[in-house]
Every structure is written in structure tokens, then in C-alpha cells.
A and B are shown apart, each in its own frame.
Chain A
Amino acid sequence: MGLKGRYTLALVALTLSIVVLLGGALLYQFQTTNEDMRRSSATVARAALMSQLEKYARDMATYLAENLANPMYEVDVNSIEELVGSAAVQKGVNFAFVFDANRHVLHDGSVGMQNYGRVLDDGVTRQAVETGKVTTKIGESALEVVAPIVLGSQLLGGVKISYSLETVQGDIADLQGTLAAISAEGTTYYLLNGLIVCASLILLLPMLSIRVADGLTRPIKVLSGLTRQIAEGRYDIEIPFDRSDEIGELAVSLKRMAGELEATTVSKDYLDDILGNMLDPLLVFDRDGAVRSANAAACRTFQASLTELTGRHVSDFMSEDEHQDAMYGFYHVTRDGGPISLEGQLKKPDGSGALALISWSAIADSQENVGHILCVARDISDRKRTEEALRESEERFRALVANSPSAIFLSDQKGRFALVNPRFEEWYGVSAAAAIGKTAPDLFSGDLAAVLMRQNLALPAGADDADREFDVPFADGSVHSVIVTNFPVLGTDGAVMGTGTLHTDVTEQRKIEDRLKQAQKMEAIGQLTGGIAHDFNNLLGVIIGNTELLQEEIGSRSEGAETVIRAAMRGAELTQRMLAFSRRQPLRPQPIDVKSLVEEMQGMLSRTLGETIEFGLSSGTDLWHVMADRVQVESSLLNLAINACHAMPDGGRLSIELDNATLDEDYVATQTELKAGDYVRLSVSDTGLGMTPEIVQHVFEPFFTTKDVGEGSGLGLSMVFGFAKQSGGHVTIYSEPGQGTSVSLYLPRAETVSKVVESPTREAHPRGQNESVLVIEDDPDVRKLSIRMLTGLGYQVTAVQHVAAAKDVLATDQVIDLVLSDVVLPGGVSGPEYAEEISATRSDLKFVFMSGYSAEAAKQNGLLNSDKIFLSKPFQTRQLASALRAALD
């Protein structure tokens, strides 16, 4: 008998037993429960009916007692009769009495009041009268209820009603009969149904059992078939049912097993395909190191067929210098059996080596005995080179970031620092270790946190560096101007990973720019001032010269002419100062012992300063000589002293200090037009009113003055500034409001010192010896003045207004001994250039140049060689006469 048959018999026997037992138990239980229910129902029904009747009787008695209160009080027998009579005639009422407080019946509801005066001496009536509460008594055949009649606190009597229990008992008997009938009918009904069900089950059980047995065994049959399919190598099985029981779990396990078998079980062809398509060489050695098999990649690598490779020793494939390592891998696997990967050099047929990652593993039998050694070699030359290139790139990046003058940091999209460079650490005082993973607000506060969090990658249109420049507090407490540059940091997928930020310190750059602007401004003012002075000099020259000629013509001294000349000379003095500022005054640099100069001026300065100002002089030892115009040094010192005097209207102290100063490259880098070297510093300090920084930055500008109108020209410090710059020196000023001012004049050290004794000899005008002078001057007044002066000095004069005309003159036979030429001439050719040109053919021809510029300025401008004789306009007849004689003689 098969499994199905055994299942069927067992199920039939089991279910029959269950049916019989269950049916018997149910029948017994049903009958017992039915009887109990019938009894309980009768009891409950009786109790309910009695309770209902008692409640009704109490309610009726209470109602009557309440409504009888007034009639009882008023002895309204008529009303009492109506109330009691209505109660007495109700169904089931045996009698209804109304009695007084002495329990004497007052009315019984009947017309004849038959019970009038009867004494109610029963217990229930007494109890009701004594307690004042509604009292009931259930007897064998009647229910009596007594309700007291009370008016306020006065007991007037009561009402007693007797209800017959005959009706209730009849109802209970009827109910019990009905329940018994229902019970009997139910018993018969359920017994019959139970028999029908049992019979049906007996008929159906064999069929059901067969069906169930079939259902139990069918999945096993299916699984058995699937197992055979797997055994035949067909792993793509499908489970035709979906169950969660043990059969289902078995089916799932079977399917999983088939899948695993499919994944792990391969054919030889499949393996050959894998090995044949491998890019890496694969060799199989026996324990002696002889090749037993190899794949196509190995054949290609070692340029040999499988047959040629077979039997060769493992050492034939390893480079000699890496031999030991390669053999170590072979012996390691042979000995220990565990896989190992090593880097080593493969020996190629051409003798070259190829760096490879060589993996060794053992092929063991079921007894764990190593039979063959598998070797797979992967050429990693390119990868190594890539890694090296990447490492070098990272190193360069690291060096670039580490050595950047800018603070560089990278932050992720949540603003957390991912990288900070040493400059960042230095500037903001936070180490990289402390910063990584933190946000700027975690580490800093205030403006610095805000700037560090600033990540506006897209600046608005028209934005410039100013929009990205911020004042940032550094860790050392200083505030620096920093330009913030943000850029996105992209991942390999092009997505933004975070933000890169550069902080570039432009503090020094801004300072230099400010100084450059100041220098350019001073240069522009100088050019303007120089131009004006140049033209003024021409005018003043005409005035002075013509006035002198007029004096000669009239042959006597004219007070008016003298006044004109003095005024003109004062004008010339002003223009000299303007030229001094514009660095175009004629200077006569010479080695000067500044200390001696100051000491010589000490008396004059003391007198100038007055008695309220204390004067002091201090000097360093071994003071150097300076190379400068002595007169201008004196003038500058005097100017500075007078300014100091004016700054101390209520008196004070003026100090002059002298010392040597060497300005190094670092210092001069912060200045303009200043060279590193040795200087003598002449400082004039006062304890006066001082100036604000806003005023200080303008004090060197010409005509800028804080004095009242008429008290100062505004050219004193401008002249000092221009003189210092023209002399290759430098001037600084430091002032504090209410504290005083100190101006330092740096004059360059004289390289050679020779005693120069000025001999301001005043000799008579050296007159000409009838030499011929060609005047080239474009200004007609100056030209005319020159003619008159030269004529007066005894020269033959020919005057032209430009070079072309001069050439024409020289092209004639006219004798010309000397050319007096303006430096700057119209027509594109300057006076010195023309002189250079003509000297090629007229080397005998002498030249004297004149200009509104100083000689130094003219030289600096390339207009004049240093060996040329030069006259600064305006000049006097004496100066002209001397210059001509110096040229001609």
C-alpha cells in the first residue's frame, strides 16, 4: 500500500472516531444545557414577574398614598372613595383599604364602606406605619403592599393593597410549559440534524480522506520529479505551488539548491571559455614547478604554444632579480596551501621584465593534498605608472596648497572644513586638525565666521574685487584686507561636492596703491606747478630785463624801476619755490657738513623763533656729509623752523636732530622714488598744535596751508618736499594733534667729500668782444629782451624763433660765434639736439642754453647734456654775461 493509501485509511479512522466522540459529547452537553436553561429560565421568569408585580404594587400604593394625603386631611370621603374604589376594581386586586393613623379602615372603595372601622393588625401594616416606608409582603397566594399616607411630618394613615398571585403563578406555569415544549422540540431537532450530519460525514469521509491524502502526497511527487530534473542537470526548475509550510520550505530550499548548483557547477567547455578569454596569463604547475597547463594569455605573454610551455619550470617565467620572491610564492603555496599575492617581475622572452601582481593558490584534492599550483599574473606596469603620476600630482597639489601665500580651504556642502592649508592655520590661528569637520561658526565668531562662510560662487554682474574684499581679523589681532575667491569643487561625476575658497591678503598691495596714488598726485601737481612757474619765469625775465634796460637808458636810478625789479624778484623767488616743488629748480649739489650748516644757522634761528620758544640741537657722532644744494638746505631748514614756530603760538620747544640713517630695501619698498642707501636725517620737531591725519596727507601740496590768508604762501613744505625729491632724498612727517609735529628730511650721503668754498664774487658784467650771437627763442618777449641784453653787453645779435630759421642763418656767410638757444623749441627739434646736429659741421660754434626748467630737470628730461652751459629763466644780465664769456673764453 502506498503512502496515499495509508494516509487515506488513517484519515478515515481518525475522522470517524472524532465524529462519533464529538457527536456523543455534543448530544450529552446539549441535553444537560437544555435542562439547566429550562430550569433557570423558569426561576428567572418567576423572579422577574414577581419583581415586576412588586414594583407595580409599590408604585400603585405610593401613587394612592400621595393622592390620598389631601382627602385624608380634609376627610374628603368622596375623593377617598373615588381613589380607593378605582384601585380596588383593578385586575388581580383582592382589596384596597385606606386606614387612619390608628390602622382603622376608613374606606375600602366600596359604596357601602363595609370594612369601615376595621382594625388592620397585621405585621406588614404595622411595619409600614411604624417605619413610615412602603412595605411589601409576598405570601403564598397574595402580595400585600402598604404605603403610609403622610402630610409633612404628620402620619395620616395609609393605604393597603392586596394583589392576588394567582395570575403570576399561572403565567409562570405557562412559561415553564412553553420552555419544556421548546426544549423537547429543540432536542428532537438537533438530534435529527446531528444524525444527518454524522451520516453525511460517514459517506463523505472516504472521499475527503482520499482527496486530503492526494493533496498531501502530490507536492511530494512534484518535488520528487524536480529532484530528478536537477539530477539530470536541468537547474531552471519552477515550483508549481506557493506554500508557507514545511513542503513550501522544502520546495524553496530545492529551488535555491538548484540555483546554487547552477551557479557553482560548470562544464569543462565553460571553464575552457573562461580561461581562454582571460586577459591575464594563467599557468598551472605541479608540485615540482613544471607547467602542466596554461591559458591563451600565457601563451601570448610568453610567446609560446601550450605544448612549448608544458613542462617548463616556474623559474623560467620569473625575472632573475625577482626570482627569490617568485619562488617564495610558489613554495609558500606548495607548503602551506594558502593563497598569496606578490608583486614581481615576469621574465619575457625578449629578456625584458614586466611588473606584475602574481597570485598563487593551491589546487587540492578531497584529502587536502596539494596537487597543483595555480599562478595568475596581472601586468600592473600601467597601473603603477598611473599611481605614481597620481602620487606626484597629489604631491604637487599639496606643495602648491601648503606654500600658497593665500589661505586656502575646502568645505563640504554643509560648510564643514575638509582641508585647510598652513596659511589658513597661521592667519586664523586654528590648526588643520582642529578645523577639519567643523564649520566656521563652530570655530570663529563675528565677521570672521561670516567671511569664512561666504560661498557666493556666482557674483552678480558688474561685481569686481571690491565686492569680494573684506576686512578680516587675523589671529595676531591685526586686521587685513582679504579678497575672497570661491570656486566649486566637483566630484568625478561632475556633481558639486563642496566649495573651495582662497583668501588673498592684499593689505600691502592696497598700501602701495595708496602711496602710488599720492605720488602720482604730487607728480601731477608738480608738473602743473612747474609749467606755471616756467611761464612765469619768462614773464618775470622780460620784466626784470626791460626794467634794467630802462634804468640804463634813463641813466639814473628810478625808485619805481627798483620797486618793479624787487617785485619781479620776489615773484621770481616764488616761482623758484614752485620750481623747487616741481623739482625743476636749478640746484648746485655739493658735499655739505649739515651739522656745521645748522650750527651756523643756530643764531639766526634762535632770533627768528623768539624768546618763547626753546631751541635745541642734537647730533649723532660721525655725521656724514650730504650731497645737496647748500642754499636749499638752509632754505628748507628755515622753512621748517618757521612752520614749527607758527605751530607754537604760545611757545614751546623746537628740536633739531641730526643723525645718520641707512634706508634698506625693505623700507624703500614702502616708498616711492627712493633708493636704498645712506642718508643723513635732519629732523625738526615742535611741541605745537599738531595736525590731524587728514591735514597731514595734504601738507606737501603747493598752496595748501592751515595759516590765515597772508600769513603763509603754502609753498614752504612743498619746496622742502620738491627739494628733497630732486636731491634724491626723502621727507617724512609725523604729527599728533595737541602733541606736536616732526618733519624729517633725508639727504643722500655724499660719496666724496671735498671742501668747497663758495666764492660769491660779484664782478662787473663781462662784456662781449663784438662776437656774433645767434639767439633762438620762440617767445618774442624773451627774444627781444635777449637781443637788448646782448646788444648792451657788446655782442652782435641775430635772433630767430625756431631751428629752421637758425639753419638758414648759418647757411649764409654770416659769422656766428655763439648760439644762445632756448632748450624747448617749436618744430620738434630741441635746442640741444640742434646743437648736436650742427656741431658735426661747426665744431667751433659755441652754445649756451636757456630754459624755464632747471638744468637738473632738463637733464632728467633728456633735454640737456651735463656739459652744456645753461641759464635758468629768469636770468639777469650779469648771469647772461658770465655764461657767454664762459662759453666763448
Chain B
Amino acid sequence: MKRIACWMNVLVVCVWWSGADAEPFVERAQILVVGVVSSNPKSQIVQLEAMAGYLAERLGDVGIYGGAAIVARNNAEMARLLSDGAVDLFSETVFSGLYLEEAVGAEFLLREWKKGKFEYRTVIFARSDSSIRSIEGLRGKTIAFEDRGSTSAFLLPLAILKHHGFEASEISPREAFPADQVGFAFAKKEVNIGAWVARGISDAGAFSTGDWESADRMPVPLKTNLVIIHKSEPIMRSASLVRAGLRPELKARIKQILLEMHNDSVGRDVLKKYHLVARYDEITGDAARGLDRARLLYPLVAEEIQ
């Protein structure tokens, strides 16, 4: 019954058959299910189906004859799906991946070059005419983040603040708070973070280095009066994970296909649709060290990742 209930929670299920003359009935073990966490299934399902189809078409040798896609509403639901074995493969940010790793034993498979970038940093900035010049200067100040789902503009800077010994609590804009803490508020959009700091709504703001460099998200007239007071260590942009207990030969075969996927045109098209991923590579070297740093910071923000 629990399994059935989990299946009922799936918002969208689409089974792609590997061939019209295939056997009319395929068991669950013969299907590769690709999942993702999103509040907008419609925007995700097509790219998931493409990825699931691409992989399933190439996994027949390991007993996979079909592909399916599942969109979970949040990390907790994804955790249940993984626990039930309903999802085999999924992409996630670092901290969410660490949450699912800790929760249900999800396994980091490959580093994912999402939107062409394999890593980024977080910058914390303040008005240039302010007295804030370092993280320590933020005591008793406010900082603007984007939203709770953002890694670069929330989880990472929050973890950094806590790592520096700050106690941070969420406040409303223009709200007073204890002088020994750092208050944070969500500006919803990156451009708003810059405007809030520029207009004095908040004392500082944080987002990724990519946003800082983007004229769209940080217009020059705003940026002119701002100054970076902290830049974090690089952090993996995104990763591909598999559920615990996935058959090793299947996992290995998936990993192999993904690593080679950017080499053929069909694979590139699927990757382009699939979150503008440029390619996958092994989590080794700096990537592995970065992941380790993230594991160190994860406990500081674990309660925020649900």
C-alpha cells in the first residue's frame, strides 16, 4: 500500500516504450525513472522524458526497456520516492544532494555542468559608502538573500555567516532585530538584492558571482555604488545522483552513458534541453574537495533544506 501511495503522489508519469513491438507489459525493474524536484512540473517533464528516453534506449543490455519521468514537489517527497525506489536518477544542487544523501543514501554520481558552468562562488556586497568591509562588519546588520531554494543566494552565504560564528534570523525588511545577530530577508529576485542594498533597504546582499557580473541582475548604475566584502570558495554548480541500492551494473552503465553523452549530437540535444547541461564529468580533484567543503558546511544549513 505504501508503494501504491507513493506512486499516487507522482504528479506526472510518462512511460516511454522502447519499441512499438516490445512486450506489452514491462516490470518496474525494467524501467529507468528520472526525477527532479520542481514546483513547475510542466517546465520539467519534457526534458526529463527526453533524458529518460535517451538513457533507456541505451540501457537494454542491463535490462532496461523503458524510461519514465517523475517530478517531486520538494526534497522530502523526493526522499520518499528515492526510499521507495521510485526514482533511479536525478539532478540536484549540492546542498539538496547532501540532504538526500544523508536522508535516503542517495549517491553523487557525476558533476553536472549546468548552463555551461561546473562551479561558482558566492559574493557578499555592501554599499561602498557604508562602513561594512568584511563579514565581521555585518553584526547587527541586515543582508538580502534571494529565496530559500537558492544555494548561492541563501544556503551558502548563510552557512558562511554561521561558519563565522554569526547567529542569523529571518526578518521582514525594515524590521529591527537584536544587535548581536545578522538579520536576513528575501528579495525574491537577484536584481532586487542589488536595489535593496543600493536603496538602503538592507545593509548587504549576497548572490553568485555570475549574477554579480550580469548587467541584467546587477545593473551598472546600481553596481557603481556597491562593493564586495566577501567572496566564497568555489562550489559545485549541480550534480547527478542515483538512488541507494541501484544495481551496480545499471549505475555503471548510466554513468558511462552520461559521461559520453556530450560527444554525440543526439546526446547534446538532450543535454541542451536538460537544464542546458554542457556535459558530465567525474567528481574528482577540486570537485571532490569542493564537495567535501560543502559537506562541512551542510550541517549549518541542514534545517533549511527540507
- Interface residues as binary, B196-236 with A (CB distance below 8 Å gives 1, 0 otherwise): 10010100000000000001100111100000000000000
A113 and B221 form a contact (CB under 8 A): yes
CB nearest neighbor in A for B193: A77
Is B163 part of the contact surface with A, judged by Cβ < 8 Å? no
Q: Which of A523-564 contact B (CB under 8 A)?
A: none
B215 and A81: CB pair below 8 A? no
B173 pairs with A74, CB closer than 8 A? yes
The answer, yes or no, to whether B28 is at the interface (CB within 8 Å) is no
Residues on A with beta carbons closer than 8 Å to the beta carbon of B173: 74-75
Note all chain A residues with C-beta closer than 8 A to B188.
Answer: 76, 78
The interface residues of chain B lying within 8 Å CB-to-CB of A111 are 215-216, 219
State whether A78 touches B189 (Cβ < 8 A): yes
Residues of B contacting A507 in the complex (Cβ-Cβ under 8 angstroms): none
The reply to whether A75 and B219 contact each other, CB–CB distance below 8 Å, is no
* Shortest CB distance B41–A (Å): 24
Most buried by A among B194, B215, B220, B221: B221
Q: Judge whether A75 and B221 touch: CB under 8 Å.
A: no
One digit per residue, 1 when the CB lies within 8 angstroms of any chain A CB and 0 when it does not, for chain B 248-290 equals 0000000000000000000000000000000000000000000
Q: How far is the CB of A576 from chain B (nearest CB, A)?
A: 145
Distance in angstroms between the alpha carbons of A77 and B187 in the assembled complex? 10
CB <8 Å contact, A116 and B219: yes
Does B126 reach chain A (CB closer than 8 Å)? Answer: no
Q: B33 at interface (Cβ–Cβ under 8 A)?
A: no
Q: A76, B219: Cβ atoms under 8 Å?
A: no
Assess A77 versus B189: contact at CB under 8 Å? Given A116-B221, A117-B221. Answer: yes
Alpha-carbon gap, A77 to B222, bound state (A): 11
- Residue B110, interface by CB 8 Å: no
From A77, A78, A112, give the contact of B215 (CB < 8 A): A112
Closest-by-CB residue of B relative to A115 is B221
Answer whether residue A618 sits at the interface, using C-beta atoms and an 8 A cutoff: no
> Which residues of the partner chain B approach A81 to less than 8 Å between Cβ atoms?
191
CB atoms of B219 and A112 under 8 A apart:
yes
A114 on interface, CB distance cutoff 8 Å: yes
Contacts of B220 in A (CB 8 A): 112-113
Task: Given A111-B215, A111-B216, A112-B215, check contact A77 B192 (CB 8 Å).
Answer: yes
Contact with A along B165-192 (1 / 0, CB 8 A): 0000000010000000000000111011
Q: Which of A56-83 contact B (CB under 8 A)?
A: 74-78, 81
- Write out the residue numbers on chain B whose beta carbons fall within 8 Å of the beta carbon of A74: 173
Contacts of B215 in A (CB 8 A): 111-112
Q: Are A113 and B222 in contact (CB under 8 A)?
A: yes
Is B195 part of the binding interface, using a Cβ–Cβ cutoff of 8 Å? Answer: yes
CB atoms of A114 and B192 under 8 A apart = no
Interface contact B195-A75, CB-CB below 8 Å = yes
Q: With a 10 A CB-CB cut-off, give which of A77, A81, A106, A114 has the most chain B CB atoms.
A: A77
Say how far A690's CB is from chain B's closest CB, in angstroms. Answer: 125
Docked pose: A77 CA to B191 CA in angstroms: 6
Which residues of chain A come closer than 8 Å to B199, judged between CB atoms?
A: 75, 106
Complex CA gap A78/B222 in Å reads 13
Known contacts A81-B191, A111-B215, A111-B216; A75/B201 CB under 8 A? yes
User: Which chain B residue shows the least CB distance to A77?
Assistant: B195
The chain A residue sitting closest to B194, CB to CB, is A77
Q: Can you show 24 pairs from A to B with CB atoms below 8 A apart?
A: A74-B173, A75-B173, A75-B187, A75-B192, A75-B196, A75-B199, A76-B188, A77-B189, A77-B191, A77-B194, A78-B188, A78-B189, A81-B191, A111-B216, A112-B219, A112-B220, A113-B219, A113-B220, A113-B221, A113-B222, A114-B221, A116-B221, A116-B222, A117-B221
Binding site for A on B (CB under 8 A): 173, 187-189, 191-192, 194-196, 199, 201, 215-216, 219-222
Nearest 6 pairs between A and B by C-beta?
Answer: A116-B221, A78-B189, A77-B195, A113-B219, A77-B191, A75-B201
Given contact pairs A111-B215, A112-B219, A112-B220, a sample of 17 additional A-B residue pairs in the complex whose CB atoms are under 8 Å apart: A74-B173, A75-B173, A75-B187, A75-B199, A76-B187, A77-B194, A77-B195, A78-B188, A78-B189, A78-B192, A81-B191, A111-B216, A112-B215, A113-B220, A113-B222, A116-B219, A117-B221
